[in-house]
Amino acid sequence: MSNYRIAANVEWTSKCNARCVMCPRDKVGRPRIMSPELFREVLKRISGQDLFRVVIAGYGEPTTHPQFEEMVELLRGNPVQFDMVTNGQLLDEGRLRRLDGVIGTLIVSFSSIDPDVYHRVHVNLNHDLVMANILLANSLLKKTKLAISLTPLSDCLETLPQTISWFRESGVSALSMSPSLYDRAGALDTEEEPTTERLRQIIKDYKLHSQELDFIPSIGDVLKQWMANRVKCVPRNSDMLISSTGQYMYCFNDISHRHPIGHVSEISFREVLMKREKTVVDHAVCDDCSLKDRYHFPEMVKVGAKYLGWQV
């Protein structure tokens, strides 16, 4: 019986205004938009008993949702914390004021202060505009926290010190990085990219916040989750992606949405967690996934020790 809490990732849309190099858009299929009616159904499924955090992101760009303002209003008065991940291009004063206090943390993804690197990584986006929007967010947001998610790609590492300095000099101090570059179920060539070990070292050297534990509410929750699930994959089991069509997904890394396990109109969050616990490795999703060899027992102990603040 599942009695642990996890995070959910809710995809308002799989549509995106960017063509980032690390995101295999071609695998996403026809871009979809979650209607406000469907989102109301999602919200009915969300409770603080099952979830400690809901991230609005998925594979698209939430700010491109045609009813963005209406969707934001629906977040008010819900029992869990909502965070949002965005590329920042469509944040303006009106939107930032609307988000303030409704979203817990607004996370802007950013690759580099160098325009050439930025445009190579964040293809289709306007570097100057995104930087201006970040500064605007930093000055306008009073209740919502602003954080930056730095892209863990090798192309960004050379300019990382300058990128970090720009943020710190501008008063933006919550800088984070993921120690995993997901190959999105085999869709990305990660051969040339930094390993998790190297990224962890970079995170430490530059005193960045590691996103590694952002999906883990407590060690107890991870242990219960580990025991309950037949597939021993902590990243998968710590998160539930709810797609823009309202499907609960087998794994958030299933970018092609090959393996839905239920629809929000039919099954509760707790029921779908129990259903997922019984699933076995889906070779089509897992075989080429870069996360599958991570978080085996020794890795779990190491990450657990880090969580408790021990030196490892």
Ligand X SMILES: C[S@@+](CC[C@H](N)C(=O)[O-])C[C@H]1O[C@@H](n2cnc3c(N)ncnc32)[C@H](O)[C@@H]1O
DSSP 146: E
- Output 102 or 147, the one with its CB closest to ligand X: 147
DSSP 213: G
DSSP 208: P
Whether 243 and 172 have beta carbons less than 8 Å apart is answered as no
CB of 99 to ligand X, least distance (A): 14
* Distance, CA of 70 to CA of 93 (rounded, Å): 16
- Output 42 or 289, the one with its CB closest to ligand X: 289
Where does this chain bind ligand X (CB under 6 A)?
A: 16, 22-23, 57, 59, 61, 85-87, 109, 149, 151, 178, 181-182, 184, 188
CB of 32 to ligand X, least distance (A): 14
* Distance, CA of 44 to CA of 143 (rounded, Å): 25
DSSP states along 228-264: H-SS--HHHHTEEEE-TTSEEES-TT-TT---EEEET
Residue with nearest beta carbon to ligand X:
109
In the block, tokens 């009915």 appear at: 44
- Output 9 or 225, the one with its CB closest to ligand X: 9
CB of 119 to ligand X, least distance (A): 15
Joined together, the tokens standing for residue 309 give: 């603040």
CB of 16 to ligand X, least distance (A): 6
Q: Could you count the other beta carbons within 10 Å of the beta carbon of residue 114?
A: 16
* Distance, CA of 296 to CA of 312 (rounded, Å): 16
CA 8 to chain centre: 9
CB of 51 to ligand X, least distance (A): 18
Find, among 101, 104, 8, the residue nearest to 54 by Cα: 8
- Output 256 or 279, the one with its CB closest to ligand X: 256
- Output 123 or 281, the one with its CB closest to ligand X: 123
CB of 17 to ligand X, least distance (A): 8
- Output 23 or 141, the one with its CB closest to ligand X: 23
In sequence order, the 6+-apart residues with CB closer than 8 A to the CB of 64 are 13, 15, 16, 17, 90
CB of 298 to ligand X, least distance (A): 23
- Output 149 or 225, the one with its CB closest to ligand X: 149
